[in-house]
Structure 1
Amino acid sequence: MVEDRETKRRYQSSVRQDSARRTRRAIVAAAGELFVANGYVATSLADVAAAAGVARPTVFAAFGSKPALLRQVLDQALAGDDAPVPVAERPWFKPVWDAASQAAVLDAYAQVCALIGERVAPIFETVRRAADAAPDVTELWDTLQANRRAGAHMVVEHLRTFGPLRPGLDAEQATDVLWLLNDPAHHDTLVRQRGWSAGPFRDWLSGMMRDALLPR
């Protein structure tokens, strides 16, 4: 009987956790759509709650504040889901580590940037605009820029294990160049605004990376 009660408690706990996870996902999805469509400043937690089909206190209980919710929207867009796994350890990043040459590293990284750009370009632009008007978003925007540069630095260091960079280019300069090129704004401009398809964008980005960083 004790075992049956314990099994029932575990089952009920699992059901509650699954329900809470589904609720959080619905809130994040609704928030992402509203932030992009209406802007961060103009979107309230009440708006998000209504779109997600939950009460406003539920949104607050799940995330604590609108900036925290925005951060979760970004994190989930970058990663592709809500699993606590860093981007560099995701299966779709693995080709960067498995590449056998400098050119192959950059080809794989261009694919990663294209994949991320497809998911995050609109919300990145939303955060950039909000940072000008909402002080509570400025820190988040600065963190995004720092994280992009850290990712670029990681890839540059991996490149250097295969050989030298382009003559006259040190590691810090190479990181700055790759940081410039991994900006999702490029995807937003060329794919969303100008109508490029995924393949040509990826190939363009890879070519820009190779030309800028590798010996000729």
Structure 2
Amino acid sequence: MATPNEDDKTPARRKILTAARTLFTTTGYASTTIKAIAAEAGVAVQTVYFVFGNKRSVLAALLDVSIAGDDEPIATLDRPWVAEAVAEPDPMAQLRIQVHGARLILDRVGPVLLAVRAAAGADPEVAQLWATTCEHHETVLRHLTTALAEKVDGLDVDRCVDVGLALQSPETHALLIDERGWSATDYDDWVVEALAFAAGIAN
């Protein structure tokens, strides 16, 4: 199988990321080799190296695409759902918008995040990737919570961010939706209610 040229790079990239997602979330990051990713994707090993360079870069790209939901280089803070939440004057409506948007991200990236966390203890580069991803999550949540604080008197931003990080973690999402069988609506409603309570919003 020939190494792709630049015109073939994007289709190959998508195949590789799809394969990597399957293997990282089933076999685990540490146990997955570039050779295995190539075989799962139906491309040559050198194709994976040509497109990404190494396994850690495959993981980083998979995280980026899973969080964004597309290949567009648009940061989460610049996504329409974040702007919509911040602009919403009603605090409960803002919570519903931001919780729904965050849950859609967790639907896509949650299993990958769990694989990253599992591998972080034995791989310093993956540990750094995990830390960076957690910092990004907190930055987005703090941005939204700061906007909410402008609509709710006395809101404790730090406490609400802490509660949001706990409720919208990949572990909580996986426990309630994947293991306990909650629907997406049930999960969203619960997170909204809990965040509203933490924020001191009267229903």
Q: State the TM-score, normalizing by the size of structure 1.
A: 0.85
Could you tell me how far 1:94 is from its partner in structure 2?
A: 4.1
In structure 2, give the amino acid aligned to 1:175: V
1:122 pairs with 2:111: yes
Could you tell me how far 1:90 is from its partner in structure 2?
A: 2.4
1:68–1:165 Cα change, 3 Å: farther
1:187 pairs with 2:173: yes
Q: What SS class does the counterpart of residue 121 from structure 2 fall into?
A: helix
Identify the match of residue 140 of structure 1 among 119, 122, 129.
129
Q: Which has the larger radius of gyration?
A: 1
CA distance in 2, matches of 1:118, 1:188: 9
Asked whether the 8 Å contact 2:166–2:172 carries over to 1, the reply is no
Question: Which residues of 2 match residues 1-216 of structure 1 at below 5 A?
Answer: 17-166=6-155, 169=156, 171-216=157-202
Greater Cα offset, 87-96 or 55-64: 87-96
In structure 2, give the amino acid aligned to 1:129: A
Greater Cα offset, 95-104 or 67-76: 95-104
Could you tell me how far 1:129 is from its partner in structure 2?
A: 0.4
1:18–1:91 Cα change, 3 Å: farther
For 1:13, the equivalent position in structure 2 comes to none
Unaligned runs of 5+ in 1: 1-15
Deviations 1:164-207 (A, max 9, x none): 244xx3x3333222222221222111001111111111111111
Deviations 1:10-51 (A, max 9, x none): xxxxxx655211111111111111100100000001111111
Q: What SS class does the counterpart of residue 41 from structure 1 fall into?
A: coil
Asked whether the 8 Å contact 1:181–1:205 carries over to 2, the reply is yes
Aligned residue pairs total 198
RMSD over aligned Cα atoms: 1.6
Q: State the TM-score, normalizing by the size of structure 2.
A: 0.90
For 1:5, the equivalent position in structure 2 comes to none
Q: What SS class does the counterpart of residue 133 from structure 1 fall into?
A: coil
CA distance in 1, matches of 2:153, 2:71: 37
Could you tell me how far 1:57 is from its partner in structure 2?
A: 1.3
Where do 4+ consecutive residues of structure 1 move more than 3 Å?
A: 91-95
In structure 1, give the amino acid aligned to 2:104: L
Deviations 1:136-158 (A, max 9, x none): 21101111111111111101111
